[in-house]
A and B are shown apart, each in its own frame.
Chain A
Amino acid sequence: EGELVQSGGGLVQPGWSRRLSCAASGFTFSHYWMHWVRQTLGKRLEWVSRINTDGSVTHYADSVKGRFTMSRDNAKNTLYLQMNSLRVEDTAIYYCVRDQNFYGSGHDYWGQGVLVTVSS
């Protein structure tokens, strides 16, 4: 049974940076595309970014493009989200999630989620 364990959430001031980590276990991490999805305080789900299996291809939502960077270390089975120039509207619970297959047929594993609060 696979598992994703996240760390790195917390309270940050606007304009500051934060890095989220997501440690994978129980499956061959390097075989799967991964995403970050966030859930606002109003419970709306928003896709943030995705990365391919070897980390060479990333895509971002327009709202975070140029500020957030997604990466992975397959040797450490770990996914990262570097968040710079944080804004109040980035406040959300952030989840790392796995695509269950190459075609993207759903996110079958979710991290436990970490709350990032951006406030002065």
Chain B
Amino acid sequence: DIQMTQSPSSLSASVGDRVTITCQASQDIRDYLNWYQQKPGKVPNLLIYDASHLQSGVPSRFSASGSGTDFSLTISSLQPEDFAVYFCQQYFNLPVTFGGGTKVEVK
């Protein structure tokens, strides 16, 4: 199975901060990587697909990049509604696997 390692597992930030989360795959997954946001008590929401493509309706302050084994998700200016948990997901191989999540908390 492909292991997805996210870092950090949590971070504290302030509104307006630039935040970057990384995700590393245990083997080359090309660009078969998605990012999700999950707010407390809600279902995950697709933010980014295919490593760098912004899902329809997602604010442009979210961006992502990467290919192969190293990926990142950036929030250019953190907003109050962005405090949540973020997950990466690879679908290059079955089983589909997710990272352990990064919790973005208020500083």
Contact = CB atoms under 8 A, between A and B. Distances in A.
B43 A110 contact: yes
Contacts, number: 52
Contacts of B11: none
A72 interface: no
B100 interface: yes
A111 B43 CA distance: 8
Interface residues of B, number: 23
B83 interface: no
A106 B98 contact: no
Contacts of B96: 35, 47, 50
Interface in B20-42: 32, 34, 36
B75 interface: no
10 closest A-B pairs by CB = A106-B49, A47-B96, A45-B98, A110-B43, A105-B49, A106-B34, A106-B46, A104-B91, A61-B95, A105-B50
By secondary structure, the A interface counts as loop
A54 interface: no
B97 A110 contact: no
Contact of B94 (A43, A59, A106): A59
Nearest to A62: B95
Interface in B25-69: 32, 34, 36, 43-46, 48-50, 53, 55
A95 B43 contact: yes
8 contacts: A43-B85, A44-B98, A45-B89, A45-B101, A46-B98, A106-B49, A107-B34, A110-B44
A74 interface: no
Contacts of B50: 103, 105-106
Nearest to B47: A106
Contact of B101 (A44, A62, A100, A108): A44
A91 to B, nearest CB: 18
Contact of B55 (A45, A108, A113): A108
Contacts of A59: 94-95
Most B CB within 10 A of own CB, among A43, A95, A113? A43
A85 B45 CA distance: 31
